[in-house]
Amino acid sequence: QVQLVQSGAEVKKPGASVKVSCKASGYTFTSYGISWVRQAPGQGLEWMGWISAYNGNTNYAQKLQGRVTMTTDTSTSTAYMELRSLRSDDTAVYYCARVPGLAVAEFDYWGQGTLVTVSS
């Protein structure tokens, strides 16, 4: 069965960086993309970007351009999301989600989420 298992919770200071991992299993990793979505406490879902596991192409939300980098390691079927220059409003649960390769596709499987807390 398809599973996306994310790394554990992180606590970071303002200005630091965080790197969250998302290990996929149960399907051919390179046949799908991975999107990252975050959710601040008590708030809605915010899309952060997408990466093709096939060729590494990326597309980031304009709001995060320059601060976020998404990568994949096809040898371990793992996707990564790094966010730099952290601020208090980056405190959120970060989710990875699988995306079929179509431009209008749904997020059909989600990771369990990783809480990132930014606090001095």
Partner 1 sequence: SYELTQPLSVSVALGQTARITCGGNNIGSKNVHWYQQKPGQAPVLVIYRDSNRPSGIPERFSGSNSGNTATLTISRAQAGDEADYYCQVWDSSTAVFGGGTKLTVL
| Gap between the Cα atoms of 87 and 38, Å rounded | 14
Considering only residues 3 through 32, tell me which ones interact with partner 1, judged by CB under 8 A.
none
Among 7, 12, 47, 54, binds partner 1 (CB under 8 A): 47
CA neighbor of 67 nearest in space, from 21, 16, 114: 16
Our CA angle for 21, 2, 78, nearest 5°, is: 25
Q: Least distance in Å: CB of 114 to partner 1?
A: 11
| Gap between the Cα atoms of 84 and 98, Å rounded | 23
In this complex, which beta carbon is closest to partner 1, that of residue 82 or of residue 108? 108
Considering only residues 54 through 113, tell me which ones interact with partner 1, judged by CB under 8 A.
59, 61-62, 95, 97, 103-113
Question: Contact residues for partner 1 (CB under 8 A)?
Answer: 35, 37, 44-47, 50, 59, 61-62, 95, 97, 103-113
